[in-house]
Structure 1
């Protein structure tokens, strides 16, 4: 597996610092399991972060120093852009129908045995109930379906587990992650073939510019 869309640097640093929510961390871990490039980025962030913290005498005490530490960690992430220093071998991912390990505690081992909730023609969802307050959902979308145009009230992290979709940002296939912020406006359309299965963590509700989608939003809870 060779993903073309990767975790944002802020997400990698958040993972290294342990500041991601459990839901965001679960999706990030799902991507890290199959992405050599992002594992290398994570290793760089952890190495630099650990070294810098050891050099703090006394520890970081003000906001300006914290910003300097963050900037130096970002700079280190750029030193290995091709992921050649990856600490682990690239993995093939789970077997067809099996969910990644990081999602077992939320959804079980297989998406095939889940009870999917109908959202719209060709669109079904399962929401994790054991969460910290942020949303963690699985989506199953039939081929050729278009999702409503939307932006994000906060961060959204989506990992593709099966199938694919295309939007204004490009083609997202198995292993790719969409690491999106509040400025992203897009309309995903699933491609031909099998259904698109993806897991998404959201820290705020979506924003729909269309009246009809906004009217349905309270019913779907996204």
Structure 2
């Protein structure tokens, strides 16, 4: 089944330009492995970036100045630069195999994961050693309603197994939620099986309820 929720155009341009935070690069690369539509759009983003770089060469500025000018035209911040990961195209999915972009951080097998409970119905594995934000796997019990929240920055979440629904629609395996600080949502996981996803953030979540805000330091979100 092909994904129905995709990476935003601005995120793809940042990915192509090497200006996306490292944690978000991992999730974007995982989605690109399984989404031919976004791979085609990435080729377009690469061409746009190349054309903008060619325009900047008219005055032959230093390479770093040309790149900064290109990023300004793309309206992305060049503060954290991370190269895109090699994309392994996966046509037939083994349900136990994690996307190859996740292997350095979580291993290859979903069955071998060692989860840590961080809240009722929520388990997590936090990647260590990554820069440019937080990268984590989440396993959320079926039929769970997460607290209403927004985002202090950007969040990129890809569904690996199970599903959830929120104001943006139904998210199933392969789908990615590309969220910014203006998004307020409350995911509700589907019944039947846990929802397992990989999520990257470049700033803490912002919870609306006082109880969730009080417990946030304990849960580490």
**Shared fold per TM-score greater than 0.5:** yes
Q: TM-score, normalised by structure 1?
A: 0.85
Instruction: Name the structure 2 match of 1:49.
Output: 49
Q: TM-score, normalised by structure 2?
A: 0.86
Where does structure 1 differ by over 6 angstroms across 4 or more consecutive aligned residues?
A: none
CA pair 89-2 structure 1, distance change in 2 beyond 3 A? farther
| Cα shift readout 1:42-94 (whole Å, capped 9, x = no counterpart) | 101112221332242125769xx6478438xxxxxxxxxxxxxxxx9973364
Instruction: Name the structure 2 match of 1:83.
Output: none
Secondary structure at 1:33 match in 2: helix
**Is 1:17 the equivalent of 2:17?**
yes
CA pair 204-119 structure 1, distance change in 2 beyond 3 A? same
* Cα contact 1:154–1:181 (8 A) shared by 2: yes
Displacement after TM superposition at 1:101 (Å): 0.2
Alignment RMSD (CA, Å): 2.4
Displacement after TM superposition at 1:115 (Å): 1.7
Structure 2 unpaired stretches of 5+? 76-86
| Cα shift readout 1:155-212 (whole Å, capped 9, x = no counterpart) | 0000000110000111000110000000111110000221111000000000011011
CA pair 174-93 structure 1, distance change in 2 beyond 3 A? farther
Secondary structure at 1:30 match in 2: helix
Secondary structure at 1:3 match in 2: coil
Secondary structure at 2:23 match in 1: helix
For 2:71 and 2:20, the matched residues in 1 are separated by 18
CA pair 94-52 structure 1, distance change in 2 beyond 3 A? same
Secondary structure at 1:57 match in 2: helix
For 1:114 and 1:25, the matched residues in 2 are separated by 21
Displacement after TM superposition at 1:98 (Å): 1.6
Instruction: Name the structure 2 match of 1:79.
Output: none
Structure 1 unpaired stretches of 5+? 72-87
Corresponding residue pairs, total:
206
